[in-house]
Amino acid sequence: MNNVVILISGSGSNMRAIVQAALREDWSGRHGARIEAVISNKPDAEGLAWAREAGIAAEALDHRDFASREAFDEALMQAIDRHSPALLVLAGFMRILGPAFVWHYQGRMVNIHPSLLPSFTGLHTHRRALEAGCTVAGATVHRVTADLDLGPILGQAVVPVLPGDTPEALAARVLAQEHRLYPRVLAGLLADLAAGR
């Protein structure tokens, strides 16, 4: 089995889209892949309860309980590695991960970022895209490397910027596409893993 562990911080709508696609498309039968665990750095993340109800091991590891970023990263690695992940999926995980963590999951960690990378790394991507006068916006799935939002791109979705758009309206339009893009890219990666590519 190629185990998948998903990290979230909030509503976990991307995580839900991934779990639903895995069921609908039978990732277990087709790719030997299983969504094994969901871990959040926020105990009250809505997505945790949803994952539990879906029968997935779901756990919170509150970063505020740790004295340093390194101590949190170390505990998080231990929690993740109990599930032996072939793929570690960051889905709205809002903590910056240190170099030791990134190195440990090198080659098997992916992230989704709500912009057309390499434009607008970091926060407030939709407001910044509107302020810059972009006529298109979107989301990017990429490998996570030491460059944070700048690892190799695995897939992108593009949406139009519409007249009168607010950051919230644009964010909602992009998020709907994230829910299509992320499962599609992951299914491709898992198919490659299953085929030994």
Tell me which residues touch ligand GRF (CB under 6 A).
Answer: 8, 10-14, 91-92, 112-114, 139, 175, 178
How far apart (Å, rounded) are the C-alpha atoms in residues 182 and 168?
A: 20
Which of 13/41 has CB closer to ligand GRF? 13
Which of 81/122 has CB closer to ligand GRF? 122
Known catalytic residues are 113
Which of 33/157 has CB closer to ligand GRF? 157
CB 92 within 8 A of CB 18: no
How far apart (Å, rounded) are the C-alpha atoms in residues 136 and 188?
A: 25
98 backbone φψ class: left, alpha, beta (φ>0; ψ -120 to 50): beta
CB-nearest residue to ligand GRF: 92
Q: How far apart are the first and last CA of the chain?
A: 15
Which of 91/190 has CB closer to ligand GRF? 91
Which of 128/194 has CB closer to ligand GRF? 128
Where helices occur in 87-197 by DSSP H, the ranges are: 99-104, 125-131, 167-194
How far apart (Å, rounded) are the C-alpha atoms in residues 94 and 96?
A: 7
Minimal distance, residue 8 CB to ligand GRF, in Å: 6
Minimal distance, residue 135 CB to ligand GRF, in Å: 20
Minimal distance, residue 197 CB to ligand GRF, in Å: 26
Minimal distance, residue 36 CB to ligand GRF, in Å: 18
Minimal distance, residue 104 CB to ligand GRF, in Å: 21
DSSP letters, 23-86, are HHTTHHHHH-EEEEEEEESSTT-HHHHHHHHTT-EEEE--GGGSSSHHHHHHHHHHHHHTT-EE
